[in-house]
A and B are shown apart, each in its own frame.
Chain A
C-alpha cells in the first residue's frame, strides 16, 4: 500500500535559513541592505557607479556584483571609487542565493559598513524567489524596455519596495510612456515607491541619493 506522508516544507527553506542568518548579522551592525534587480542592460551598474561617486564621502558602501561569467561590473564599481567591492561569478546560475552572499561578506567588516548593495544577476524572474537577507528589493527598468514589463513580471514587481525608471533621457525615442509604466506597476504593487532618473544626464539622481541617505539613517535609528 502506498502511504501519503505530509511534509509541508518550503522548497527553499535552506536558502531562507541562511537569509535569516544574514539578516541578523546585518541587523546587529545596522547595515542597510538593498538587492538591486533588473533585466540585463537596464543600468544597475551605471546607477551604482553614480551612487558611489556621490555618496562615497558620506557613507561606507560595500557592494557585491553578481554576474554569470565575468567580473566586469565589479571592476567598473572599483574604478568608480568603490572601496569595498566583491564580484560573485555564479558560473551559469541565473540568480544569487543566500549562501553566495554569506561567503562574500566573510571578507567585510560589517561594523564598518553603512550601506550594502547587492547587484543581482540581470534577470527579472529567477532572483525573485531567493531571499538574500536584504531590507528591500529594488527593481530597475529602463525606458528602452516595454512599459508593460510590470505586468509581465508581476512576481518581481510585487516583491520589490521601490521601482527605478532609468534612461529618462531616451523618452520619446520609443513608445514607452512614463505614466503607463507607473500605472502598470501600481496595479501589481500599490505601495511601490518610484524614482525616475537618467544615469546619463544625472536628471533625478539627487532625489535617489537623498532617499538612500535617509534610509541608511533610518536603519541606524531606534525607529527601525
Chain B
C-alpha cells in the first residue's frame, strides 16, 4: 500500500507550505495524478484521512484530478490520447511513442484560510 507513503509525502509538503506562508488552515489540497501512476484514488483518500486524523489537516479535503495519458508518435508526429494504456499510434500503428502526460504526481494547489 504505497498510497500511505504518498499521503505522508503530501502531508509533509503541505505542512511546509503552511509554515513558510503563514497559513492558518488548509481547506483543500488539489492533486494532479497521472493515470499511469498506478495510484488508487480511494486508497489515497483513505491513507490521507488516516494519517491526518487529530492533526491540523483533519478537516482538509483532497481533490484528485486524474490526468489522462497522452502520447506522441515519433514516426508520424501524431499527438493522441492513449486508451487503455495501449501505446500504439492510431494513425500509423507505430509503437515508438513518447509519453506527453499521464505520469503526474503533483500538488497543484491548496486552498487556504488566511
Residues of A within 8 A of B (CB): 1-15, 93-95, 97, 125-126, 128-129, 151, 153-156, 158, 186-191
Contacts and interface: CB of A to CB of B under 8 A. Distances in A.
Given A4-B109, A94-B2, A190-B97, A158 B17 contact: no
Contacts of A129: 2, 6, 37-39, 105
Contacts of A15: 9
Contacts of A188: 85-87
A93 B61 CA distance: 25
A158 B36 contact: yes
A116 to B, nearest CB: 23
Given A155-B37, A155-B38, A187 B10 contact: no
B5 A93 contact: yes
B38 A128 contact: yes
A189 B88 CA distance: 9
A187 B36 contact: no
Interface of B: 1-2, 5-6, 9-10, 12-13, 17, 21, 23, 27-28, 31, 36-39, 85-88, 94-97, 99, 105-114
A186 B95 CA distance: 8
Query: Secondary structure at chain A's binding surface: helix, strand, loop or mixed?
Result: mixed
Question: Which 7 pairs across A and B sit closest by C-beta, in order of nearness?
Answer: A190-B95, A126-B2, A154-B85, A155-B38, A7-B107, A11-B105, A187-B86
Contact of A7 (B99, B109, B114): B109
Given A11-B105, A11-B106, A94 B1 contact: yes
A15 B85 CA distance: 26
Contacts of B10: 11
Contacts of A190: 87-88, 94-97
